[in-house]
Amino acid sequence: MGTFSIRVDNLQWIDGKKDDPFDLCLHGDAVATIGERVLKYHATVSATALYLLKTLTEDHIIYEDNQMLPCCGFSLFPNEAADNVVIIGCDNGIDWTVKHEGEEVVLILEDGTAERVPFAAYEKEVYAFADEIEAYYRSCSPKQVSEDPWEEKGYTAFWKEWHRRRGKNDQ
């Protein structure tokens, strides 16, 4: 059975600061290990965390949505109910496929290399990563969302979806 891990170092906001109440997207040096492959990227890790949480219940097909390690995540588009969000950024980043097969997930890299991982181990890694990202948000100043109602609705939907997928009440 294969392995998957994901870690992050150097958490910061886009301008390199450790705290910025006006920046909604957290960045960091993400390192994903899938089997023997190590993928490193300075990513928008807040988007990474949400997309990893989505993969606990949904398949993710490479290049059909946001990358798993995206460069950018500058636009948050909420659904009509404002409880799910699509994150849009640029085309740069690192992506892989996540498919559910019974009690396993199959992670498929760009070159076709596939790694089977027990779902329980995958879920544990995803939760640990998401919890680390959320803890960083909580350690910073409260976010000052712009007065644009669309941006506010998108940011609110981001956290509603996050907490629902993480199994927490919206906090």
169 band by pLDDT with thresholds 50, 70 and 90: low
pLDDT at 171: 47
Question: pTM (2 decimals)?
Answer: 0.94
Inside any domain, residue 124: yes
65 band by pLDDT with thresholds 50, 70 and 90: confident
Measured distance CA(149)–CA(71) in Å, rounded: 25
Inside any domain, residue 83: yes
Residue 146 has pLDDT above 90, yes or no: no
74 band by pLDDT with thresholds 50, 70 and 90: confident
For residue 114 the two structure tokens come to 């596939």
Contacts of 73 (CB under 8 A, 6+ apart): 25, 44, 46, 47, 66, 87, 88, 89
Q: Count structural domains, the chain.
A: 1
Inside any domain, residue 171: no
Inside any domain, residue 31: yes
Which residue, chain included where needed, has tokens 């019974």?
102
Coil, strand or helix at 139? helix
Contact between residue 77 and residue 85 where contact means Cβ atoms under 8 Å apart = yes
The total of other beta-carbon atoms located within 10 Å of residue 67's CB is 25
Domain of 158 in residue numbering reads as 4-166
Inside any domain, residue 11: yes
Average pLDDT of the chain is: 94
